[in-house]
Structure 1
Amino acid sequence: MDPDLLALLRGADTATVCNAIEMVQGRRGFSAFTRGTMICSAPDEPPIVGFAVTARIAARAPSTEPPDVVRARRMAYYRAMHDGPKPSVAVVEDLDFPDCIGAYWGEINTTIHKGFGMAGALTNGVVRDLGDLPRGFPVVAGSVGPSHGFVHVRSLGERVTVLGLEIAQGDLVHADRHGALVVPPDVVAGLDDGIRRLRETERLVLDPARAPGFDFAAFERAWAAFEKART
């Protein structure tokens, strides 16, 4: 990824990127984002930005496969996470959703993934060890829980679904405390200008609203300028 684009995306929250995508597309209706409220292990850190490395897990019951098969798939999982193009994001669908009980993301697993050079993790599953997770590897998860259950890897590299958002291997993901989205490939080249224009347009309302003496007349003038800039 272009370093300037990466810095731009890491400097903008997911809500801003969502609006900027619509700015580039020239219309409302962008819908490739998560639904519902998610948990972010590091809400004050920069957003997670990177290419998805996907997997599926389950934890409510032990695997019925032979132990050597389970271990081989687990090692293949770690190899895939290690080898994914950087920056990369671990995107893991918990097949037990909405009744997830196994915290795949704890101190040990997050530290391993960070050591592989990954940017963070996105899951509909469970995170734990909130006081012990390494800095620089946020986890955006569906819930918080205390146990790992019978967690095991079920598949690798397939299209997954995380809180309503479908994500394919290699998709460009942006995630923070607001949730996550997939950046459409056809808007990437225009995101720099889109984010800049979005921020300029928002200031047409924000600057007057923050100034002393803001009243309804000032609001009307600001809103008229705001609407004109958006059309």
Structure 2
Amino acid sequence: MAERPFEAADLEALCRWDTPTICNALEIVAPARRGRGFTFKPFTAADPALPPICGVARTGRIRAAAPSGRTREQDKAARLAWYEYVAEADLPTVVVLEDLDETPGTGAFWGEVNSNVHKGLGALGCVTNGSFRDIDMLAPGFQILGVVNPSHAHVHVVDHGGEVSVHGMPCAHGDVVHADRHGAVVIPADAVRAVPAAIDLLARREKVVLDMCKRSDFGIAALREALAQADEIH
């Protein structure tokens, strides 16, 4: 079992908040990460109503525009090796899958079968610049952020376990990934347990401003007062 400065319960607790809130908290607990470590291109969420997910990353790379050049048996072996890799986890996982094609999403890796297989292997969902299909038949509760495409074309696993990049978010094996319909962010391991307190601080500061906005006498003077009061909250 890997040595980590957090436990499964800490990751589960972070699912109480959406990904933008997690990003806000990281501005406090990991300020050097303010401008990086998150996705910045739009996704389609398989089910926008699903709650946020948070788990350790299982990373891989795929292609689909052309055949792999391997034999059928070699492709099957590569797929099985991928499944074994995903299954070897002591915590819930989030798959981060980079599509290397010139036009990412040419072929869908995700659909009814793979969503159910990965859910059964302990994955909560996937963040990918690739595509998914079978929208109405995906495993219940399994979130996918990607693009929609009806065909799997020549989709095949290229490799797994290395660093990948999805929509501007670099991600390595074992990184903590938080995701929802807004996108995804990597949370530094040593920041995981500090995030809830930072969210509480931000919520208390924001409440002062939001409460002031609801007052009948709200204006620039009141806003200036609220911002000053918020700055004093620690």
What is the TM-score with the length of structure 1 in the denominator?
0.91
Aligned to 1:209: 213
**Does residue 1:148 correspond to 2:152, yes or no?**
yes
Aligned to 2:137: 132
- Structure 1 range deviating more: 61-70 or 165-174: 61-70
Are the counterparts in 1 of residues 26 and 34 from structure 2 also a CA contact under 8 Å? Answer: no
Are the counterparts in 2 of residues 21 and 30 from structure 1 also a CA contact under 8 Å? Answer: no
Take 1:152 and 1:185, find their aligned partners in 2: how far apart are those partners?
31
Take 1:27 and 1:167, find their aligned partners in 2: how far apart are those partners?
16
How many residues of Structure 1 are paired with residues of Structure 2 in the alignment? 229
- Structure 1 range deviating more: 200-209 or 15-24: 200-209
RMSD over aligned Cα, in angstroms? 1.9
Deviation for aligned residue 1:120? 0.8
Q: Pick from 6, 24, 28 the counterpart of residue 19 of structure 1.
A: 24
Give the gaps of 5 or more residues in structure 1. Answer: none
Q: Pick from 97, 100, 113 the counterpart of residue 105 of structure 2.
A: 100
Take 2:215 and 2:137, find their aligned partners in 1: how far apart are those partners?
42
1:5-52 deviations in Å (ceiling 9; x for gaps):
223210111111011011123577341111211121122211121001
Take 2:76 and 2:161, find their aligned partners in 1: how far apart are those partners?
17
Flag as ranges the 4+ runs of structure 1 deviating above 6 A. Answer: none
Equivalent residue letter for 2:154: F
- Structure 1 range deviating more: 63-72 or 19-28: 19-28
Deviation for aligned residue 1:210? 3.4
**Does residue 1:223 correspond to 2:227, yes or no?**
yes
Equivalent residue letter for 1:58: R
Q: Pick from 53, 76, 92 the counterpart of residue 58 of structure 2.
A: 53
Equivalent residue letter for 1:62: P
- Structure 1 range deviating more: 95-104 or 5-14: 95-104
**Does residue 1:67 correspond to 2:72, yes or no?**
yes
Q: Pick from 159, 162, 173 the counterpart of residue 158 of structure 1.
A: 162
Deviation for aligned residue 1:228? 4.1
What is the TM-score with the length of structure 2 in the denominator?
0.90
SS at match of 2:123: coil
Task: Indicate how the Cα distance of structure 1 residues 97 and 125 shifts in structure 2: closer, same or farther if over 3 A, else same.
Answer: farther
SS at match of 1:158: coil
Are the counterparts in 2 of residues 86 and 118 from structure 1 also a CA contact under 8 Å? Answer: no
Q: Pick from 163, 172, 175 the counterpart of residue 171 of structure 1.
A: 175
Equivalent residue letter for 1:172: V
1:161-182 deviations in Å (ceiling 9; x for gaps):
1011111010000111111111
Equivalent residue letter for 1:93: E
Task: Indicate how the Cα distance of structure 1 residues 19 and 225 shifts in structure 2: closer, same or farther if over 3 A, else same.
Answer: same
1:172-207 deviations in Å (ceiling 9; x for gaps):
001111111110123123112111111111112122
Q: Sequence identity of aligned pairs in percent?
A: 41
Are the counterparts in 1 of residues 204 and 233 from structure 2 also a CA contact under 8 Å? Answer: no
Deviation for aligned residue 1:149? 0.8
- Structure 1 range deviating more: 96-105 or 174-183: 96-105
